[in-house]
Amino acid sequence: MLVLLCCAGVARADDAAAKATEARRLYDEGQKLYNLGEFPRAIEQFKQAYQLSARPGLLFNIAQAHRLNGNFKQALFFYESFLRGQPDAKNRAEVDRRILEMREAVARADAQQPPAPSPTPSPTPSPSASPEPSPLPSPSPVTSPVPLPGPDDVAAHSQDGQLGAPAGTVPAPRDSSKPIYKRWWFWAGLGAVAVGAAATIILVGSGDGGGAPDTDFRIVEAY
């Protein structure tokens, strides 16, 4: 019995050592992927390492990867899970600040989603009305023919041997040959464009990126 108990203890120790070695390997691989910006793959490695070792620091690293990948709800979950497993963490103040940031980011994302459209009732068919006879087209008025100008009228409107325009015709306005850069509306429009461009540059330069959390790439050493 003593020999069996010793063998069982050695087997459990070997199994625990194998799990610890595999968890450390997964953690190192996840850290490499994290540094390369491969956040989804790094998250998978950190999760597998946590399943083998249950180290709380891995939860913080998973939260960081989710935040940098834009998954604010998942980041909030893992920040809170980290504090549940390690409430007296050295970086407690930082984690509390991240939790507040993630809650604000989730609230902004929910506010930007359009509401679900309400189902529209099907229209009630209106009772069919008996068709009314279409009215007969009214006869078009007969217009009297316009008399053509006679020789006397043509001679009266001629000028310097050239045939003039009939009486009552308004002469077309002359096309102005003033260049476009000498017109007042050209300079007014150019000034408005310059003012708008300057205002856009000021707004872009003073913006905060839509309120997204800052990118802090630091993770904790889980081993």
Q: Where are the domains of the chain?
A: 2-112
Q: How far apart are CA 161 and CA 69, in angstroms?
A: 86
Burial-class residue 43 by CB neighbours within 10 Å (0-12, 13-18, 19+). buried
Contact 42, 33 (CB under 8 A): yes
**Tens of pLDDT, residues 163-190:** 444 444 555 555 555 666 566 666 666 6
3-state secondary structure 153-200: HHHHCCECCECCCCCCCCCCCCCCCCCHHHCHHHHHHHHHHHHHHHHH
* Per-residue model confidence as pLDDT tens digits over 123-149: 565 555 555 555 555 555 545 554 555
SS3 category, 22: helix
CATH label, 2-112, candidates 3.40.190.10, 3.30.460.80, 1.25.40.10, 3.90.45.10: 1.25.40.10
pLDDT of residue 209 exceeding 90 = no
Q: How far apart are the first and last CA of the chain?
A: 37
Residue 107 has pLDDT above 60, yes or no: yes
Distance, in Å, from the CA atom of 213 to the CA atom of 72, rounded to the nearest integer, reads: 9
pTM summary value: 0.54
Query: Which of 102, 100, 99 minimizes the C-alpha distance to 82?
Result: 99
